Structure 1
């Protein structure tokens, strides 16, 4: 078990110690359930009220904290407690699943595939013709990489994920279990003789560097060219990204949200959980779409939109206030 003193923790965070404790620390935990040997966090002043009844002996706090730690308890003040929490979680993180051999004997690797130095491939993985893996790539069991896929260095692909033919994933990416990269886009047209005719989807998916794709999420291939996710995008579980959509850098999509085909997101766009974005819509840099919202038209940069259909947040709040007054009359 990993244990650290107050001084050990502060040597990592380089914060300001308030109070003192001789307790050794074995894990991080939230305030309400923390034990004496566990580190907790106060990232917002509204959580200060929970400190009095918490058993934690140490909390990482923002510099504007307005309470004192108490006897044999301590705070470490930092600029941003949430970012400091990331450092502490990394400190206590258990080891990832181990590979006893770099290439498992049951992995099926085509003779034309190129596997970079120090890359690992788990049991029953399929690595197709002309696949290229960079250095230090980790392919967990039961992953499928079809023809001509490329994977950048230091990328991790968890069990059950499928990357279809001709798709490209950058470096330092994480693809979580059962994600689908490059499935056919949803394209059909009515035909009097044949019912619904499937439109061939002949494009691919291009994913930049430092991108994370959540479990059971789908990024569909382009109809003509590429579906593109820019560097640093973070995609939650159960997200749908339709064909030919293009995401700029550092976009966030929360769980159960979805983009229809040919949606364009600028840099730093945030899509809340269960939000739906109509096809051929453009959302500008830094815009925010609230959870459960339905976007039917373009959104200018920096706007915050909520509701169904989505309107600017201030307008929606006024509308809801009027409806509430009407309901009480």
Structure 2
């Protein structure tokens, strides 16, 4: 792994260098786990007090914090330590697994498929009829892309992912291991005689915009009719469920174990906390936030934060929790 001087790193981050260290830095690390060859990060006063205990030779800190350098230990002050950390992690990011051949001989590619320039297709992949891969698409081993699906330029699909028929995937997307795109939506109705369930055919597809990232073992189901839609720039964590006919606006975030039931609509910039559940046919307007573990049963207004089960306005819910706590203390 490459090593850098504190000056090299500050030239990349363009921060304010305070103090100096002659130690070469060969990686980032958490404050209390860092060694003398590490750089660390301080984003709040909660962690600033741990600087004195840390063995790191340098730290990237928010410029509104009061932290002092020490002997052979330097600070780089920046506007946002989290964003600076992202730049630094790119610098130390190891190379991804390579390909000995662009298209592995065990890959099965239908003769009607269109493969763009400089694509890489790993061992045991399947690419179906009339599939279109844009330029620089990477399919890691054991990916299946079924008939009439389109994947845009520079998208990366990791092993075990299955993309069902007729899906439309944008450019610069990343699908991590074992993602399911375009499986049947969950639709059943009781039979006329009341003795069984009738499966509702799901004949739509999934449309995913550009720069979308979907975490491992997450599922995006195809629509009953029309399309399940994920807008540009959405980021979806591991183990997330997005049901049939849901529509996500641009730059939404869904944390792990959260889920949208059928026909949910999210505006732009909506944040869904971990393990939150959204009832079917619910609309959450742009800029709203759903707290972790919440259950949304009704529409949420733009910019509102909701908490609880069932979810309510965050301030109202916190007042209720305080009232209940006081009541319990007085019993």
Shift of 1:192: 3.1
Q: Which position in structure 1 is the counterpart of 2:296?
A: 295
Aligned length: 329
Deviations 1:205-238 (A, max 9, x none): 0000000011000000000100000000000000
TM-score (norm 1): 0.99
**Is 1:222 paired with 2:187?**
no
Task: Write the mapping of 1:7-46 to structure 2, written as runs, cut at 5 A.
Answer: 7-46=7-46
**What SS does structure 2 have at the residue aligned with 1:75?**
strand
Q: Which position in structure 1 is the counterpart of 2:265?
A: 264
**What SS does structure 2 have at the residue aligned with 1:27?**
coil
- The separation in 1 between residues aligned to 2:164 and 2:245, in whole angstroms, is 16
**Is 1:209 paired with 2:206?**
no
Shift of 1:59: 0.3
Q: Which position in structure 1 is the counterpart of 2:70?
A: 70
Shift of 1:67: 1.6
**What SS does structure 2 have at the residue aligned with 1:210?**
coil
Deviations 1:99-142 (A, max 9, x none): 00000000000000011000000000000000000000000000
Q: Which position in structure 1 is the counterpart of 2:117?
A: 117
- The separation in 2 between residues aligned to 1:292 and 1:79, in whole angstroms, is 32
Shift of 1:176: 0.5
Deviations 1:31-74 (A, max 9, x none): 01000101100011211011001000100111112120111110
- The separation in 2 between residues aligned to 1:224 and 1:11, in whole angstroms, is 53
**Is 1:131 paired with 2:131?**
yes
Shift of 1:93: 0.6
Unaligned runs of 5+ in 2: none
**What SS does structure 2 have at the residue aligned with 1:215?**
coil
- The separation in 1 between residues aligned to 2:268 and 2:44, in whole angstroms, is 27
**Aligned Cα RMSD in Å?**
0.6
Shift of 1:195: 1.1
TM-score (norm 2): 0.99
Task: Write the mapping of 1:1-329 to structure 2, written as runs, cut at 5 A.
Answer: 1-193=1-193, 195-329=196-330
Could you list the structure 1 runs, at least 4 aligned residues long, displaced by more than 3 angstroms after superposition: none
- The separation in 2 between residues aligned to 1:227 and 1:192, in whole angstroms, is 29
